[in-house]
Amino acid sequence: MALTGRPDGPPLPAPGAPASAARGALLAFEALLRHAGHVAAADALPGPGVLAERAALAGLSRRGPSSAGGAFRLLRAADGTLGLSLARPDDLDLLPALTEDPSPADDPWETAARWAARTPAGQARDRAQLLGIPAAAVARPGDRDEQLTARWGTAEPGPFRFDRLGDPGPVPERPLVADLSSLWAGPLCAHLLGSAGMRIVKVESTRRPDGARRGTPAFYELLHAGHASVAYDFTTEEGRAELRALLARADVVIEASRPRALAQLGIDPYRLAAARPGLTWVSITAYGRTGPWADRPGFGDDVAAAAGLVARDAQGPVPCGDAIADPLTGLHAAVAALAGVLGGGGLLADVAMREVCLAALRLGPDGLSPIGLPTAAPRVRTPPT
């Protein structure tokens, strides 16, 4: 993959088969579209190059051990490797509390690296997560933690799981999708559903708009072209009531919030489904809606590291692609959403980003992807009209 490796070195192969996982999800989505009679939409689907199109539009390149975007880095820990994201102003503000360094360096990454070097990776991860900073101990093959055991027992995790949410209903002619997500994974899911003819309404908080708006405008437009957009003040009862009214009409809801955040807004998927037969709810989280890590935050690069989806060379691990867990998750979430709708709904799709990456790792032998992305520069699609 052209985005994987060090800036002064060659591109490195990804472990497992993330490009094949992307292609497989797109083929499944295409098959569902054709089954539903949406032939033109099926013919127009993109390929696995969606994994790299943000980098193509933003002009990003490989820069391991940092991420392509620069907000994540793999740091040597006392007993392994720590992946740390400092993507938000709050993350940087919390760095002194994280490291307790009496003489912090001017460069926050230098301070973080000194702290990580003397701290076991798991302990460093847990401390960062306690503060709300996305972090991961880079997994090794065969690692099994309390979260995976709680969710899957001894079974291997799949890219998503369905739970019965409510009663099924008739398949709507043109489903209404309320997209409460932000950044990349959820919006990519909504983008694909929109390409299938569904009506998309993007929902934002007036006080905390989608952070992707501060990124590359062309990428934001690519994902959201043709979608309606509303903004509510979730701190007011009026704003929360407007949100609930929209959700009561929706056939599909996409959200990427931790479970407790939805509860704080008074939103209960099961209560909504009781009054809305056929509702399909797509819940995207870093580690899953259930289990002891249900409320842990995560972004595309650190969650991939938590799965072990990193490349390696003689100097150690480097991030794989550009926030690769995000587009992989968006593609699989779209498959779950479309399958739910065509099956009559009444389902909650629990899509955990780390589990999507773990499923991709199982598709091929380490370092060999049967269907790999070319090492040429990533390509850009044209936004739909």
Q: Which residues contact 307 (CB under 8 A, 6 or more apart)?
A: 139, 325, 354, 355, 357, 358, 361
CATH number for domain 16-62+156-366, candidates 3.40.640.10, 3.40.50.150, 3.40.50.10540, 3.30.2350.10: 3.40.50.10540
**Other beta carbons within 10 Å of 23:** 18
Per-residue confidence (pLDDT) for residue 260, from 0 to 100 = 85
Distances (CA, A) of 52 to 64, 116, 327, 358: 16, 30, 9, 19
Element (H, E) at 150: helix 146-152
d(CA 314, CA 9): 11
**Other beta carbons within 10 Å of 376:** 8
Per-residue confidence (pLDDT) for residue 117, from 0 to 100 = 98
Distances (CA, A) of 134 to 284, 292, 370: 16, 15, 31
| Peptide linkage before 18 cis (omega within 30 of 0) | no
Per-residue confidence (pLDDT) for residue 224, from 0 to 100 = 96
Q: Which residues contact 239 (CB under 8 A, 6 or more apart)?
A: 206, 232, 233
Over the chain (385 residues), what is each successive 10-residue block's mean pLDDT? Answer: 92 93 97 96 94 95 97 98 97 96 94 98 98 96 93 96 97 97 97 97 94 92 96 95 95 93 90 96 98 96 98 96 98 99 98 98 62 51 58
d(CA 209, CA 194): 21
Place of tokens 């091929």: 364
Establish how many alpha carbons lie within 13 A of residue 237's alpha carbon, considering only the half-sphere containing its beta carbon.
0
DSSP readout, 24-36? HHHHHHHHHHHHT
**Domain regions of the chain by residue span:** 16-62+156-366
Distances (CA, A) of 141 to 308, 310, 352: 7, 11, 19
Q: Which of 50, 36, 271 is nearest to 175 (CA)?
A: 36
Q: What is the dihedral of CA 191, 194, 196, 198, to 10 degrees?
A: 150
Chain-centre distance for alpha carbon 223: 14
Burial of 216 (0-12, 13-18, 19+ CB in 10 A): middle
